[in-house]
């Protein structure tokens, strides 16, 4: 039996409407699925910060000059003579520094090369404040301020003072003599027997510096 034309038209319109609705629903489902996948992916990425839970990294703990000096007040010679000249910038030649190191023979030594314009040097400076307060009665600490100008270096030490002397070394001659010729910062460790270890770059934490002092200067197992 042949359907009336009006019936066929209505049926076609209904089918067309149903198809359009199905397409729209499919598109909505696809968009929702993509959004869910993206959200899961972002949640699993370690490099995407959670803005709501972001917490600023704590400032390194600083140790004031008075507290450092109190910690090394009972240090034996030749450490006592060394720290008597601490807290500031000292003019010295390569011969002067080599003579100082000879006086310290038999004592572990830690030499830190730094500059006021060096960002990583500023970051690790509080670590050396902590280290001299902890180890200064057993270990000789020395600073070498290289490639710098005097006023900037003094301003740096006024802000981040240490109880040991820093030798002014604008031409890096002292740094080269102690084995810290390239890069900033550099830390050189000397055992009581004169064995040398050089650490390139800044320390990330005071704990890492303490571990190297114990391992390479004191020759003990870290934490022992």
Residues 77 and 169 in one domain: yes
pLDDT higher than threshold 80 for residue 38 = no
Examine residue 59 and state whether it is found in any structural domain, yes or no: no
Query: pLDDT value at position 53?
Result: 38
**What pTM was computed for the model?**
0.74
Give the pLDDT score at 4: 57
Residue 73 counted as domain residue: yes
- Over 70: is that where the pLDDT of 29 sits? no
For the chain, give the DSSP string.
Answer: -PPPHHHHHHHHHHHHHHHHHHHHHHHHHHHHHHHHHHHHHHHH-TTS--GGG--PPPPPPP--HHHHHHHTTTPPTTHHHHHHT-SSEEE--HHHHHHHHHHTTTS-EEEEEE-TT-HHHHHHHHHHHHHHHHHTTTSEEEEEEES--HHHHHHHHHHS--SS-EEEETTSHHHHHHT--SSSSEEEEE-TT--EEEEES--SSHHHHHHHIIIIIS-S-TT-
For residues 124 and 26, state if they share a domain: no
Claim to verify: residue 77 and residue 31 sit in the same structural domain: no
Confidence class of residue 9 from pLDDT cuts 50, 70 and 90? low
Residue 188: inside a domain: yes
Q: Residue 12's pLDDT is what?
A: 54
Q: Note whether residue 223 is domain-resident.
A: no
Does 191 score more than 60 pLDDT? yes
10 and 71 in a common domain: no
User: Which of the four pLDDT bands, split at 50, 70 and 90, describes residue 220?
Assistant: confident
Q: How far is CA 219 from the centre of its chain?
A: 24
Residue 190: give the domain boundaries: 65-217
- Of 52-56, 134-138, 158-162, the poorest mean pLDDT is in 52-56
- 156: in domain: yes
Are 45 and 69 within one domain?
no
Domain tally, the chain = 2
Could you tell me the two tokens for 180? Answer: 């810290």
State whether 46 and 111 are in the same domain.
no
Q: Would 60 be classed as within a structural domain?
A: no
Confidence of residue 11 (pLDDT cuts 50, 70, 90): low
Is pLDDT above 80 for 27? no
Asked if residue 154 and residue 74 are part of one domain, the reply reads yes
Residues 134 and 31 in one domain: no
Confidence (pLDDT) at 48: 37
Do 39 and 103 have their domain in common?
no
What pLDDT sits at residue 96? 97
Where residue 182 falls among pLDDT bands split at 50, 70, 90? confident
The residue length of the chain stands at: 224
Confidence grade of residue 139 (pLDDT, cut at 50, 70, 90) = very high
Q: Are residues 85 and 169 in the same domain?
A: yes
224 occurs within a structural domain: no
| Domain containing residue 119: CATH number | 3.40.30.10
More confident of the two residues 223 and 193: 193
Cα–Cα distance measured from residue 83 to residue 77, given in angstroms and rounded to the nearest whole number = 10
Q: Is residue 222 part of a domain?
A: no
Average pLDDT, the chain: 84
Does 175 share its domain with 198? yes
Nearest residue to 110 (alpha-carbon basis) of 220, 216, 23, 14: 216
Q: How far is CA 111 from its chain centroid?
A: 18
């Amino acid at each position: 039996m042949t359907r009336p034309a009006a019936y066929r038209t209505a049926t076609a319109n209904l089918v067309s409407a149903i198809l359009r609705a199905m397409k729209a629903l499919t598109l909505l489902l696809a968009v929702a699925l993509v959004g869910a996948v993206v959200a899961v992916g972002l949640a699993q990425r370690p490099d995407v910060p959670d803005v709501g839970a972001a917490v600023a990294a704590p400032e390194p703990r600083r140790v004031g000059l008075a507290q450092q000096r109190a910690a090394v007040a009972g240090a034996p010679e030749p450490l006592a003579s060394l720290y008597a000249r601490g807290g500031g910038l000292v003019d010295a030649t390569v011969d002067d520094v080599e003579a100082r190191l000879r006086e310290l023979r038999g004592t572990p030594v830690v030499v830190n090369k730094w500059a006021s314009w060096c960002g990583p040097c500023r970051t690790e400076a509080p670590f050396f404040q902590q280290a001299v307060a902890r180890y200064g009665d057993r270990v000789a600490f020395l600073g070498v301020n290289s490639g710098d100008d005097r006023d900037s270096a003094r301003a740096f030490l006024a802000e981040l003072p240490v109880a040991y002397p820093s030798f002014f070394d604008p031409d890096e001659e002292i740094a080269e003599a102690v084995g810290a010729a390239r890069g900033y910062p550099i830390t050189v460790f000397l055992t009581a027997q004169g064995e040398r270890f050089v650490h390139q770059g800044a320390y990330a934490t005071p704990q890492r510096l303490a571990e190297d002092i114990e391992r390479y200067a004191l020759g003990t197992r870290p934490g022992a």
